[in-house]
Structure 1
Amino acid sequence: MNMELEFSSRPRRPGSLIWSEDNIAALVTPSTLHIFTPTLGGILDLSKVKFLKTAATPLSIENDSPPWKLKLNVANMRNAVSTGTIDFLAAAWSPTGCTQRKGCMLACITSRHSVFIYTSGISHMNRQWEKSIVLDKTIATHWKAGTEVDPDMADKLETASLAWSPKIFTNGIGSLLALGNKAGSITLWKVTDPNDIQCVSSWDIPSRNWVTRLSWSPWIIEGDHYTSILAFATAEGIVGARKVKFHSSSPLASIQVSEDLIDCSGQGLHPCLILRWQPRLIGAAETSCLLAFNRGNRLNVWDPETNKVLVWRRPIAKTISEISWDTTSNKLFIFFMDGKHCVLCVNEDDLTIDEDLVDFVNQSIISRCHVQTMTNIKQEDGDADIAADDAEDESSSGVGSKLQLHIISGDRSAEGMHIATVYCVTSPFQMEFQRERYESCTLVLSKVHRDTDEATKDLLLGRLMSQLTVSGICLQKNPASYLWDILVLLGDSFVKRQDGTLFQELVKSEYIELSKESKAKEAFSKAEAIRTTQTTLKERLEWAIFEKPEFGVDRFVVYVWNQFKDLPILESIKDQLQEAALAAEQKIQRHVLKSILQLFDEQQSLSGTGTRVLNEQDQLLLQLLSNSVLLFHKEDTDLVSLAEKVQRVIRSKRQGSGKTASESGQVQEICPACDAEIEHENDSKATCSNNHSWQRCSVTSLLISDFHPRTCLGCSRKSLQALEPEVPDSSSSEAIEPSWLDAVLRACSVCCYCGGRFFNVLWRKGK
């Protein structure tokens, strides 16, 4: 199954098609920044190949920003010949979890060399992507630019490249944005908090020329530090790299930048267009990954461990247009601008063509591209003779159509299930006179189908477990960001393995036991120790619910079950999956209940009972949660004792007639349709005496009735959305506590059970 979209303009640079960790694709064309979301359907290999399209507003001259609005400056004179529109040149996705809603940020560079950052509105899957940050003014302040800009200062202000660092889990930093300018300077910026944008480090490269490409390597663990190698390329063909070292507890306090790791003295005849780091392989958390880069039609692979550069060149080939690493081995997929491609094996001393892996996933895309019928190319009457001569030349030489397929850019999604390729069609004849006919491009979205042997499956299984046990890093809140790739490739094994041993390996592996022991707990203790006490209620709840490492394994089990429950697998294996998932769900539910009730108890102990007033919604919330413990988790004596204590506090705070709960603690809810009482007999649904049925929120157990809920992409659980921000009533003399309901819903920005993201998010009106 494939989907094709045609665009009137084509990207200008390689790497213009990029996927985020949230499985959102962005295509950078000169006039528009296109943003797509593939529909996953929650079931591997059963969902349709389809895009939900959204786009940022095209930039225009009115949207431009300082310093280009300064009159009579040199930078403005440079761009005096530009058209009335501003074009997009390049873009990059941040890691997941960098925004307030735990999504990704999209940074882009315009033809005026400005830096804009886009974030989503209510949901990362809707059309409300907006330009939230403009860095030009901050960059000008950093370089101390005045009202008049000389040529040297203009080079510093004009950004030519950008790249996001790997995810930084400490102190809510998220990621750092590296910017390269025309003066040969590289700066690192903290931009995840719009109210606290700062440059944390900067340095100059020896060439003092345009920095045209930037790329970060995966994390390397070196004792108490996390290190990433930042590779860069200049306009004169120089490729360099420097180690950037961060301390694990305070990453921004003392950033260490090494000297150049690659010899930058030589220049190339061709500029470097692509920098691609190898994905992290199993057991390689303490070793460096390989870097692949091109110079024209030459491929270079640099090993940071040995500082050796391997070079490979395909004779009589055009420039390399795209490079992609295999995720399971030291192999490279290479695309050339003339549509040709090959697979290379990276050996210790050389690069060789892999003859057995020629027909990889993109080959099927190329073979189905019938360019003569897919491009609406017309020949004028006067061109018939030329076309006939061309046809004779083709028949005599044994060559097919003169039309050529060019791969502009390509990338595979974070979940590994989709691959998108952007191609265009050109012709050697009449190209200069009919260029407008060939300015379009086509995007093809395809499924990845790939066979894996037992050795590869064991490798993937080991890598999966290593993701759960990386030393010093707490588990991510969204396991889907790194599990999709592995789950897709393991999909066949659930069908083929008759004894179900793979699942037993997944949930009972010694790697999972390690995640519950010293390393993960030590990392959690360190992170908890450096956490400041001046945090909001929402932040404390988020920390309590998500950051404990032992529950990452349970969320993974729930995630696996929801991905494989509808596949045609053996019933015995499905029963094992379901049994383990139900146990994990129960454990997670108790953990969420305990986290909320325990924090409420701590807050009351600090402030003193009876000193503040809880609103009716918060009373109902806490009564429902404590009642869930008393009804469905009686075996946990500590949790039952905590729930009884919270109920006593609520009863002492309750004012009026006590409509929220009876003296026995039994919750009395009202049916939204008929005002009949509803008894709390089930945590997932409720039915009144008149047979009106309602779903319950998976987090708060409240009824979902008069507003649209959030739905988890991974397990389809429903959850309420937070209230709209309200202006506090200054006329009231009573001290009202922050809304617990609002804090709980905001803290659960991703699913508590599987870590999946929510969609169909709408704001809920306050009463």
Structure 2
Amino acid sequence: MPPPIYSSLSIPAVGARPSPRCVQWTEDGQLIVATKTSIYVLTPEHGINLDLSSLIRSNKHDKKDPHVGWFRTMVQIDKTLSTKWPEHSQDWSTASLGSIDTSIQSVAVSPSGITSTLRCVLAVLTSNMDLTLFSAGKNRLKGEWSLTHRVTPFIIKTLHEGNDDPSVADVLKTQIVSVSWTPQADFSVSPRPNLNASLLVGGTRGGTLEYHRYNEAHTMEFIKSVAVADAWINRVACSDWKSVTPEACRARLAFGIANVGVSYIEVTATIAPSDRPVHFGPIMKPVFEFSEEVVEVINDGQGITTLHWLHVKDGSEVLAFCRPGYVFLWTDSSTLGWTGVKRLRLAHKRVSSGSSPFLPVSGFHYIDAFDALTVGLFDGSVHTIHQVSVDPTWSPSASQGQPSLQTNLTASVRSVFVQCESSPSKPVSDLDDNRMCGYFPYDTLGTMAWLHTVSRTSDFSYMHEAKLVSTLAVAKLWDQDLQDAVSLLERSFLNARPCLYVATASVLRPIFFYFRSKQRVAEAYASIVKILSNLPEDHSKEITLIHHDGELSPEVRHAFRYSLIQHLFGWNDIVRMRVGLSLSDFLWVSGCLEPTLQAEFGLVAQSFLHGISHRVLRTVIRHLAAVMNCLTEVDVPFVSRAVLQTLLPGVPPDLAEEGASLSVQIRERIPVEASLIERCPACKEEIQLQNITAAVCSKGHTWSRCSITTFILSTPYVRTCVGCTRKAFLPPSAPGAPESLEWLPAGARGWVVVELLEAVHRCLFCNNTFVSVV
């Protein structure tokens, strides 16, 4: 039986360079497809509830069981901005043959949360060794991604500063040929400081590793240049960070050296107080230390084609790298059944006339349930390494208590290719090669995705690049039982952490995809409700702030915003609550067969919603109390609204007491009566604040309220959450927002509301990103 296909989306572009990173997920839940000429940014529909009419689907889908829908946009490089290397050196060793026809060489995706809108950044490396950064504008789903930084000129300026005549060695150290972005460092502190602790790493022709950081001012910051070899660094890969002491963690930066082998160095990240004055709490900064010891993994005078870190059972790390015809695995973990280097020879699997085990590797996927590593090759074959944590082998013998993966994945991939590409007038034959790029997991539960292109190498046929079309295929290659999905759901809920800033739509994509079947929801109902019924303790009671008794200044406002971000988004429990709300909302709205089950999921969602609202409200109230001496008459309406919300039904008594205390303080300081009555923008009738999500006047006009400030939204300067579709005012500093604050309601023009709007760039209820569609 052929495997079910969930997507076969055509992409009109020249095929990508085969590598595990030519197609990759971002932490915002988007798929980056790097072809030779452009980058496609695809967002699957799972967890997205905004502008669904714009989704595109493959033409061959069954209307009863439609294929996955995608939002699509593009990133294009500007070839006119290419660096002219002969201007820096005339030596042959610095020549760039890639400048003849500039194409995209590699893309590194940053962790989420490093831009001003808490999104990802794409680092694009071209064949001319130009490194540029791109980020999304108003609408990351289908809007423009613009160039924000040209990193190569910055590196040249930094390393050649004060040197008008750089040597050949100096120029080679600015020519980046490999790039990687480290994950976000996890310092295991709560609340997590609001900082970017990830590094952009470039390997150069001069044998150096260039470390840069995208800092809080949203500019590139040079960290360090580390010399590790005397040859090209043609591959770079960073492991996950592991905690070594409180407030410190360590990662390994592996790199491939041309005609030498593979080595790694260790990087340690810690946090320390910054030089800024302390107002509400210390403002932290990351500090990085780089080991001087270069540890050799293999040194046999040969280069590599692929370098990738795997995370196997018990969190152990395995480094995978490849050469034509071979896969190498290395580890020094004491918890695995082996150490050192394992060399595994790839067998020849005849898929078509152009099959060869010497073609590049397109991707890896480690399957925890089977303790197996699947390796996809450019020829469309898939090879499975079994017992990775015990003793890696090609033999599918099951270890004790461990099932083995028996599926013929190569035949399944070929079957998908035939279904996608054959037609009555032109059936697929043995001469048609399915050139596969970017083999990667779609849901970690047996559904894989890859990019393939039809090619006929045997007859030397040529097709113009404008006519080439690639296909993004998503298909089920093997089955995993319901308990695996429930376990994944439990881990996604319990292990939700703020250190990654990962969008909920990305974390829960496998869950949303798997449980789109109502029957599966019914079967797992009891287990899911049990998992989601354990609400975390109220962390907001632990928030302690230093009260500021001085005057208001730009430095105080910066510290106030920093503290808001830290406490609204930096606690593990609030992130877990938002994941729980998204899960229960999804199951309530679209995943139930029985009305009784739907009602129970609705109650679970309601408990998460109330819990989030109360924790956010307490956080805001404690921040208002901390800046009482800086408040003015313009701020009183918002303070009064916060106090009124503590009087609504269901508010915990201790939170109501904090609201009453804040009310007394503001009346003593500013004896002004602030009206809580708003006017209907349509008919000017009075509207009382009785509901924090919607406003309805006596004539029936209904208006949404800002999910951050609760004021009525009667302006076009609005942003919308892509997940739950809640709306909020734009931050006043956002592109397109007027310089004057006149567009905000009169009661929302105080500095406190401005800083609150600037602090919240993720939805307070579901942790997804906002987009602006106007």
Q: Residue 139 of structure 2 aligns to which amino acid in structure 1?
A: S
1:683 aligned residue (680, 692, 698): 692
Q: 1:276 aligns with which of 308, 314, 323?
A: 308
Using the TM superposition, give the Cα deviation of residue 505 of structure 1 relative to its aligned residue in structure 2, in angstroms. 3.9
SS state of the match for residue 454, structure 2? strand
After the TM superposition, which residues 582-621 of structure 1 pair with which residues of structure 2 at under 5 Å, given as runs?
Answer: 582-605=606-629, 607=630, 612-614=632-634, 618-621=635-638
The aligned residue for residue 351 of structure 1 is: 393
Residue of structure 2 in register with 1:20 after alignment: 26
Select 2:368's aligned residue among 320, 324, 328: 328
The 3-state SS of whatever aligns with 1:56 is strand
Contact kept, 8 Å, 2:243 with 2:250, in 1: the verdict is yes
Letter in 1 for 2:42: F
Indicate whether 1:295 and 2:323 are aligned: yes
Distance, in Å, in 2 between the alignment partners of 1:443 and 1:490 is: 26
User: What is the CA–CA distance in structure 2 between the aligned matches of 1:417 and 1:719, rounded to whole Å?
Assistant: 38
SS of residue paired to 1:222: strand
Cα 1:171–1:201 change in 2 (3 A) is farther
The answer to whether the 8 A contact 2:10-2:470 is kept is yes
Residue of 163, 172, 192 corresponding to 2:180? 163
Deviations 1:13-49 (A, max 9, x none): 4232222111222222332233222333548998852
Higher relative contact order (CA 8 A, sep 6+): 2
Shift of 1:260: 3.5
TM-score, length of structure 2 as denominator length: 0.80
Once residues 518 and 333 of structure 2 are traced to their aligned partners in structure 1, the CA distance between those partners, rounded to angstroms, is: 35
Aligned to 2:60: none
User: Which residue number corresponds to residue 386 of structure 1?
Assistant: none
Distance in 1 (CA, whole Å) between partners of 2:178 and 2:575 is 36
For residues 48-100 of structure 1, the C-alpha deviation after alignment (integer angstroms, 9 at most, x for no partner) is 52332222233222x234x64837644897248943x6322111111111111
- Residues 225-264 of structure 1, C-alpha deviation per residue, up to 9 Å, x if partnerless? 3121212112326122222222355774351426344444
Match of residue 725 from structure 2: 716
How big is each residue's C-alpha offset from its partner over 1:657-694, in whole Å with a ceiling of 9 and x where there is no partner?
x7x51xxxxx2110100111112222222221222111
SS of 2:210's equivalent in the other structure is strand
Matched, 1:5 2:29: no
Amino acid aligned to 2:72: K
Provide the secondary structure at the position in 2 that maps to 1:253: strand
Could you report, residue by residue, the CA deviation over 1:493-551 in whole angstroms, capped at 9, with x for unpaired residues? Answer: 98366584312442356xx76x889xx999x99999xxx97834332222232223332
**Aligned-residue offset at 1:458:** 6.4
Alignment match, 1:506: 531
- How many corresponding residue pairs? 699
Alpha-carbon distance in 1 for matches of 2:773, 2:169: 48
For 1:562, the equivalent position in structure 2 comes to 585
Q: Unmatched 5+ residue regions in structure 1?
A: 379-390, 392-398, 662-666, 730-735, 763-767
Taking a change above 3 Å as real, the CA distance of residues 487 and 649 of structure 1, as seen in their structure-2 partners, is: same
CA 1:91–1:579: 2 relative to 1, 3 Å: same
Cα distance in 1 for residues equivalent to 2:487 and 2:430: 43
Equivalent runs, 1:460-475 vs 2, <5 Å: 460=488, 463-464=491-492, 467-468=495-496
Instruction: Find the counterpart in structure 1 of residue 105 from structure 2.
Output: 89
> Which aligned pairs between 1:309-320 and structure 2 lie closer than 5 A?
309-316=341-348, 317-320=357-360
- Greater shift, 699-708 or 108-117, is seen at 699-708
Q: Corresponding residue for 2:269? A: 246
- Is 2:344 the partner of 1:338? no
Question: In the superposition, relative to structure 1, how do residues 126 and 449 fare at CA in structure 2: closer, same or farther (>3 Å)?
Answer: same
Q: Does the residue aligned with 1:138 lie in a helix, a strand or coil? A: helix
Whole-Å Cα distance in 1 between the matches of residues 456 and 113 of structure 2?
45
> Residue 613 of structure 1 contacts residue 737 of structure 1 at CA under 8 Å; is this kept in 2?
no
Q: Which residue does the alignment assign to 2:353?
A: none
Root-mean-square deviation over aligned CA pairs:
4.1
CA contact (8 A) 2:260 2:299 kept: no
- Asked if 1 retains the 8 angstrom alpha-carbon contact of 2:109 and 2:122, the reply is yes
In the alignment, the residues of structure 1 paired with residue 695 and residue 170 of structure 2 have an alpha-carbon distance, to the nearest angstrom, of: 66
| Partner residue of 1:50 out of 69, 72, 77 | 69
Corresponding letter in the other structure for 1:344: I
Structure 1 residue 577: deviation in Å? 2.5
Code of the aligned partner of 2:386:
C
Check the 8 A contact 2:181/2:199 in 1, yes or no: yes
1:424 maps to: 453
The equivalences for 1:295-694 within 5 A come to 295-305=323-333, 307-316=339-348, 317-329=357-369, 330-347=371-388, 348-354=390-396, 357=405, 359=407, 364=412, 366-370=414-418, 400-413=429-442, 419-431=448-460, 434=462, 436=464, 440-446=468-474, 451-453=479-481, 456-457=484-485, 459-460=487-488, 463-464=491-492, 467-468=495-496, 476=501, 478-485=503-510, 488=513, 495=520, 500-507=525-532, 535-565=558-588, 566-605=590-629, 607=630, 612-614=632-634, 618-633=635-650, 635-643=652-660, 645-646=662-663, 649=666, 653=670, 661=675, 667-694=676-703
**Unpaired stretches in structure 2, ≥5 consecutive residues:** 1-5, 53-63, 187-192, 273-283, 349-356, 398-403, 548-554, 742-747
Identical pairs, percent:
18
Give the aligned partner of residue 239 of structure 2. 217
Counterparts of 1:222 and 1:493, CA distance in 2: 44
DSSP-derived class of the 1:706 partner: coil
The aligned residue for residue 381 of structure 1 is none
SS in 2 for 1:278: strand
- CA distance in 2 between partners of 1:417 and 1:668 (Å): 55
Task: Describe the SS at the equivalent of 1:107.
Answer: strand
1:157 alignment partner, SS class: coil
Per the alignment, in what secondary structure is the counterpart of residue 394 of structure 2? strand
Question: In the alignment, which residue of structure 1 is the partner of 2:762?
Answer: 750
CA contact (8 A) 2:43 2:71 kept: yes
Q: Give 1:165 deviation, angstroms.
A: 0.8
